[in-house]
Homo-oligomer: A and B are copies of this chain.
Amino acid sequence: MSTRPFVIVGGDAAGLSAASKCKREEPDRDVIVFEKGNWISYAHCGLPYFIGGVVDSLSDLLSLSPTQVRERGIDLRRNHEVIAVNPAEQTVTVRCEKTTFEQPFGDLLIGTGARPVSGPFDLSTLDGVFTVHGIDSAAAIDAYLSDPEAYDESTLGEGPVDRDQITHNRQFSSPHTAAIVGGGYVGVEMAEALIERGLDVHLFQRSGHILPPFGDSIAAVVEPHLRSKGVHVHTNTPVTRLVGDDDGRVSGVQTASETIDAQLVIVGVGIRPNTDLLSETEISIGEGSAIRTDEYGRTSLQNIYAAGDVATSTHTVTGEETWVPLGLTANRAGRAIGTTVAGTETSVGEIAGTAVLKAFDLECGRTGIIDKDDARNHGFDPISATITAGSRSGYYPGNSETTVTLVCDQQTERLLGGAIVGSDRAAVRINTIATALQADRTVSDVEQLDLAYAPPFSPVWDPILVAAKVLNGKL
């Protein structure tokens, strides 16, 4: 080989997208993927649906098998941990079961992802306390939830599940009450999953509303809906301590005012980029403590790229650095970097922070900048409007209330962001707003959009048009 190999640290969305694309564009290039664990290429976003029973088998969550990866000509090495990056030597130090070795690279991609943070809690001391991160955590939670007598191992599928964890967690009697610490994406999805599993569920949010990225007007719709489904939603309620029983199993959570029984605790208070590997280097770190990357996913170190949850991105609206760890961002950046490394410089693109979420019967979406303080911090003069309109023609069965918030800058009238919630096709409507953001559209532009109308799908004035009309009226 004349070219030194393309080395990738991390065998998930960003890493394998890059590996696959590079191999397709430049089949003769050596592409090596080091994955420190057993699992590769799984659907992180599907974990709550496995726990809730919507997805039958863990195997369903695997996008690519190791065999499929190898069939693409990628040199995949699982259980290989990269323990150092040596920019001067253009090598990485790799540790596997038997040995430690230096691997030279022509190009290197850091795709090490992120890990859950645990807030003030030590998660290792009590049984029954989990974060939701990685296939093994979902399998462990499922085992812990199951009746020990009726546990069905077949749901574990074909993959390399950590059997010790399963054996440990399946011994416990099924929990009746769960506490979820954190009302973000994971918290809300897990609330639904655990209600599906028949538990009494308490959801704790430190601030005044759950789902902070969606804004208060969306949360104000979601919170009563969660309550109507049986979730006890506690806002303005930090959990201060986890309480255990004499056997070391969690028995409750403590707040400023009370202790609530819980035999299961899910901690979903955020994630943090896995940058420890780079701590000995002079790599530039940016927003969210993630690795700073440029338009092509390049870090500050020569021939070293980063992508996915470990890397920063450029925000569509501000043009500034941001850190929004989401699936499409990782896949797209990985693919772009694979193309660049193979010889064709390709932008990783900008992100608007578009996200959607199912909360029982509700569909929630958000994109761009919704929080006004956030907008002001970026030099904007924000103003917003929130409306509620029908999802279909009023006379058509299934018409249901859809709430839309739009935020724009008062000076330029440029749209900055938006959020939506409703039970009828609300989520995918957020894409309209995301598309407008990419194109720097004003509120007037949005008000003039020729959006779809047919009685079963939308009223004459789509809820987004109604919101634009009202926001425009405030300018």
Contact = CB atoms under 8 A, between A and B. Distances in A.
Contact of A328 (B351, B430, B460): B460
A393 B46 CA distance: 9
Contacts of A448: 332, 347, 349-350, 438
A356 B429 CA distance: 14
B395 A46 contact: yes
A63 to B, nearest CB: 8
A323 to B, nearest CB: 14
A328 B393 CA distance: 12
Given A428-B425, A445-B439, A458-B356, A453 B393 contact: no
A72 B116 CA distance: 58
B54 A396 contact: yes
A152 to B, nearest CB: 18
B428 A457 contact: yes
A18 to B, nearest CB: 15
B449 A434 contact: yes
B352 A450 contact: yes
Interface in A267-306: none
Size band of the interface chain A makes with B: 35 or more
A281 to B, nearest CB: 30
A455 B45 contact: yes
B354 A452 contact: yes
A221 interface: no
Given A350-B450, A448-B347, A450-B316, A49 B396 contact: yes
Contact of A349 (B331, B428, B450): B450
A439 B316 CA distance: 15
A315 B95 CA distance: 62
B355 A454 contact: yes
A455 B46 contact: yes
A367 interface: yes
A64 interface: no
B451 A328 contact: yes
B55 A395 contact: yes
Contact of A434 (B61, B328, B394, B451): B451
A348 to B, nearest CB: 9
A435 interface: yes
Contacts of A204: none
Contacts of A311: none
Given A49-B396, A461-B328, A355 B452 contact: yes
A232 interface: no
Given A55-B396, A457-B358, A452 B427 contact: yes
A431 interface: yes
A223 interface: no
Contacts of A450: 316, 328-329, 349-354, 367, 434, 438
B435 A449 contact: yes
A13 B460 CA distance: 10
Contacts of A351: 450
A351 B453 CA distance: 13
Contacts of A458: 356, 427-428
18 contacts: A13-B460, A43-B455, A45-B453, A49-B395, A60-B395, A327-B460, A328-B460, A331-B460, A347-B448, A354-B450, A358-B457, A367-B452, A425-B428, A428-B452, A428-B458, A431-B464, A434-B452, A435-B441
Given A49-B396, A329-B450, A432-B434, 6 more contacts: A45-B455, A353-B450, A363-B456, A363-B457, A431-B452, A436-B439
Q: Return the 7 tightest CB-CB contacts between A and B, nearest first.
A: A439-B439, A60-B395, A435-B435, A349-B448, A356-B452, A352-B450, A431-B432
